[in-house]
């Protein structure tokens, strides 16, 4: 045998000895390449709100002939998020689960190996804020309109002069314009502008009746949207403090709507659209509806002032009591709105 052949045989023998020694010393075997297959990838639930947990579960099959360790790498939008090792016996299935919580709304693409799934994350607070942005200026505008009505009562009963009424009206108009600028309903804005121009238009009562009809629809819709956005399906995200703030404000908001309905009917009567008898019938129905929010408020002073102003007085005394009632009402409602807005801003 040549010298070259002898060296080759010696090298092969040494390699075999090294391999035997490696196994005898317990050295870990190398992982099988291509020994695993990810057969399913699921996200439950696939739609969550910000701050809610989703579970990402993958089933992995060890197609090799020996027990081995699989490293599952979860990527989110093609960026590695987390990895986990799982030991799977030969020809068996292993399950690996990741928990994830996202704090930004959006659609996320999840992947492990070649399998993908999607997770949709919504922001319920954004929905609530949007509903509040529609409701708040309408509610505030209603209170400012009630101020104008109060001033008219005081003027008609001789408790303030015409000059004082105009001065108070100018102050209320500034508030109304500020709220009106935040209202997206163009028809509502145009109708109020036409009805409140100076000199007073001859069809003022008809225009105001039409405005209050539109206003009631807009406010009712905004209230329903806000109520829906705070619905039970959002309990895991919307804090109890915000719900409590809404429960305190809702009956006061309902009264804005009902009083606005009463104003609409009064203007309809003035415009000759309904009879005085019709007006009284409608007013009675409105007062029946007001009983429910009054019960929810459970405010004895407020209920007494409302009852005196609307049922137990007339003439100048009625005007005076209505002003006192609206002053208290406005104070309570604005405080409730500020409380809700503050809690909403903290989320």
The domain boundary residue, chosen from 122, 149, 176: 122
Q: Would you state the pLDDT for residue 20? A: 37
Q: Would you state the pLDDT for residue 252? A: 94
Burial 194-206 (b: 16+ CB within 10 A, else e): ebbeeeeeeebbb
In a shared domain, residues 138 and 109: no
- Is residue 322 one of the residues assigned to a domain? yes
- Is residue 187 one of the residues assigned to a domain? yes
The domain boundary residue, chosen from 91, 122, 153: 122
pLDDT of 3 strictly over 50: no
User: Cα separation of 298 and 249, whole Å?
Assistant: 12
In a shared domain, residues 210 and 227: yes
In a shared domain, residues 129 and 265: yes
Q: Which of 205-209, 230-234, 300-304 has the lowest mean pLDDT?
A: 230-234
- C-beta of residue 32 within 8 angstroms of C-beta of residue 70: no
Domain count of the fold of the chain: 2
- Is residue 61 one of the residues assigned to a domain? yes
Region 197-201: mean pLDDT is 80
- Is residue 94 one of the residues assigned to a domain? yes
Region 247-267: mean pLDDT is 93
Give helix 124-156 / helix 204-229 axis angle, nearest 10°: 150
Residue 89 has what DSSP assignment? -
In a shared domain, residues 85 and 160: no
Region 139-144: mean pLDDT is 91
pLDDT of 10 strictly over 90: no
Q: Can you give the CATH number for the domain in which 77 is found?
A: 2.60.40.10
Our CA dihedral for 77, 83, 87, 93, rounded to 10 degrees, sits at -20
Q: Which of 50-54, 150-154, 170-174, 272-276 has the lowest mean pLDDT?
A: 150-154
In a shared domain, residues 113 and 235: no
pLDDT of 8 strictly over 80: no
- Is residue 20 one of the residues assigned to a domain? no
In a shared domain, residues 115 and 134: no
Terminal-residue alpha carbon distance, the chain? 87
Could you tell me the residue range of the domain that residue 40 belongs to?
36-122
Tens of pLDDT, residue by residue over 155-194, are 877 888 888 888 888 888 888 888 988 988 889 888 888 8
In a shared domain, residues 98 and 80: yes
């Amino acid at each position: 045998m040549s010298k070259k052949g002898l060296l080759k045989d010696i090298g092969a023998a040494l390699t075999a000895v090294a391999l035997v020694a490696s196994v005898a010393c317990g050295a870990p075997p190398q992982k099988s390449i291509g020994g695993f297959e990810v057969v399913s990838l699921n996200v439950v639930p696939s739609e969550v709100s910000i701050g809610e947990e989703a579970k990402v579960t993958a089933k992995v099959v060890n197609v090799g002939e020996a027990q081995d360790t699989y490293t599952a790498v979860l990527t989110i939008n093609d960026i590695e998020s987390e990895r986990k090792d799982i030991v799977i016996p030969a020809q068996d299935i292993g399950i690996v689960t990741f928990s994830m919580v996202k704090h930004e709304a959006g659609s996320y693409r999840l992947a492990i190996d070649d399998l993908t799934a999607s997770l949709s994350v919504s922001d319920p607070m954004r929905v609530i804020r949007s509903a509040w942005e529609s409701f708040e200026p309408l509610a505030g505008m209603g209170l400012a309109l009630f101020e104008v009505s109060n001033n008219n009562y005081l003027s008609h009963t001789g408790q303030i002069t015409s000059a004082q009424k105009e001065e108070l009206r100018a102050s209320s108009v500034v508030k109304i314009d500020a709220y009106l600028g935040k209202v997206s309903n163009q028809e509502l804005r145009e109708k109020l502008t036409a009805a409140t121009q100076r000199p007073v238009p001859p069809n003022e009562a008809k225009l105001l009746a039409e405005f209050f009809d539109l206003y009631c629809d807009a406010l009712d819709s905004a209230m329903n949207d806000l109520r829906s956005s705070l619905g039970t399906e959002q309990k895991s995200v919307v804090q109890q403090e915000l719900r409590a703030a809404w429960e305190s404000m809702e009956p006061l908001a309902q009264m804005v709507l009902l009083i606005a309905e009463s104003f609409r009917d009064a203007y309809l009567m003035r415009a000759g659209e309904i009879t005085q008898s019709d007006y009284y019938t409608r007013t009675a129905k409105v007062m029946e509806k007001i009983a429910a929010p009054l019960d929810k408020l459970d405010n004895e002073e407020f209920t007494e002032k409302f009852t005196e102003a609307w049922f137990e007085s007339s003439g100048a005394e009625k005007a005076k009591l209505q002003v006192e009632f609206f002053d208290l009402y406005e104070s309570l409602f604005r405080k409730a709105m500020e409380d809700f807005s503050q809690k909403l801003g903290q989320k």
